[in-house]
Chains A and B, each alone.
Chain A
Amino acid sequence: MRFKEKVIEKLLLVTALSAIGVLALIIIFIFKEGSPIMVKVGIPHFILGEKWSPSKGIFGILPMIVGSIWVTVGALVVGLPLGLGCAIFLAEMAPARAGMVLKPAVELLAGIPSVVYGFIGLVVLVPFIRNVLGGPGFSVLASAIVLGIMILPTITSISFDALKAVPKAYRDGMLALGATRWQTIRMVLLPAAKPGIVAAVILGMGRAIGETMAVIMVAGNATIIPTSILAPVRTLTSNIALEMGYAAGDHRQALFATGVILFVIIAILNLLARWVAAGRVSE
Chain B
Amino acid sequence: MQRGNKIDIQDLNLYYGNMQALKGISMSFPANAITALIGPSGCGKSTFLRCLNRMNDVIPGVRITGRVLLDGKDIYAPDSDVIELRKRVGMVFQRPAAFPLSIYENVACAARVHGVRDRATLDELVEKSLMGVGLWDEVRDKLHKSALGLSLGQQQQLCIARVVATGPEVILLDEPCSALDPASTLRIEDLIRRLEERYTIIIVTHNMQQAARASDYTAFMLNGELIEYGRTGDVFTSPRDPRTESYVTGRLG
Binding site for B on A (CB under 8 A): 167, 169-170, 172-180, 183, 187-188, 191-192, 283
Contacts and interface: CB of A to CB of B under 8 A. Distances in A.
Contact of B93 (A173, A180, A188, A192): A173
In this complex, the member of B53, B97, B101, B146 whose beta carbon has the largest number of chain A beta carbons within 10 angstroms is B97
Contacts of A183: 112-113
Given A175-B55, A177-B166, A283-B148, A192 B90 contact: no
B100 A178 contact: no
Contacts of A175: 55, 58, 86
A187 B112 contact: yes
B109 A176 contact: no
Given A177-B163, A188-B100, 14 more contacts: A173-B97, A173-B99, A174-B109, A176-B53, A176-B55, A177-B86, A177-B87, A177-B110, A178-B83, A178-B84, A180-B113, A191-B99, A191-B101, A192-B99
A192 B110 CA distance: 16
Contacts of A178: 83-87, 113-114, 166
Interface residues of B, number: 27
A175 B91 CA distance: 10
Interface of B is mostly: helix
Given A178-B114, A183-B113, A188 B163 contact: no
A210 B97 CA distance: 41
A183 B109 CA distance: 9
Interface of B: 53, 55, 58, 83-87, 90-91, 93, 95, 97, 99-101, 109-110, 112-114, 146, 148, 159, 162-163, 166
B97 A167 contact: yes
A158 B46 CA distance: 34
5 contacts: A170-B99, A173-B93, A176-B93, A183-B113, A188-B99
B100 A177 contact: no
Nearest to A187: B109
A187 B162 CA distance: 14
Contacts of A192: 99-100
Given A187-B109, A283-B148, A176 B100 contact: no
B113 A188 contact: no
Given A183-B113, A187-B112, A176 B91 contact: yes
Nearest to B172: A176
Query: Which 9 pairs from chain A and chain B are nearest by CB?
Result: A169-B97, A178-B86, A178-B87, A176-B91, A173-B97, A179-B113, A187-B109, A192-B100, A178-B83
B52 to A, nearest CB: 11
B65 to A, nearest CB: 23
A2 B232 CA distance: 67
Given A169-B93, A169-B95, A178-B114, A188 B86 contact: no
Contacts of A169: 93, 95, 97
A58 to B, nearest CB: 52
A169 B97 CA distance: 6
Nearest to B60: A96
In this complex, the member of A176, A179, A187, A191 whose beta carbon has the largest number of chain B beta carbons within 10 angstroms is A176
A192 B146 CA distance: 12
B91 A187 contact: no
A183 B110 CA distance: 10
Contacts of A187: 109, 112-113
A170 B53 CA distance: 17
A177 B82 CA distance: 11
A174 B112 CA distance: 11
Contacts of A172: 55, 58, 93, 97
A158 B162 CA distance: 31
Contacts of B58: 172, 175
A113 B101 CA distance: 41
A174 B86 contact: no
B97 A170 contact: yes
B61 to A, nearest CB: 12
A176 B83 CA distance: 9
A117 to B, nearest CB: 37
A67 to B, nearest CB: 38
A177 B90 contact: yes
Contacts of B159: 173
Contact of B99 (A174, A180, A283): A174
A170 B93 CA distance: 11
Contacts of B100: 170, 188, 191-192, 283
Nearest to B95: A169
B101 A188 contact: yes
A199 to B, nearest CB: 16
Contacts of B99: 170, 173-174, 188, 191-192
A176 B172 CA distance: 10
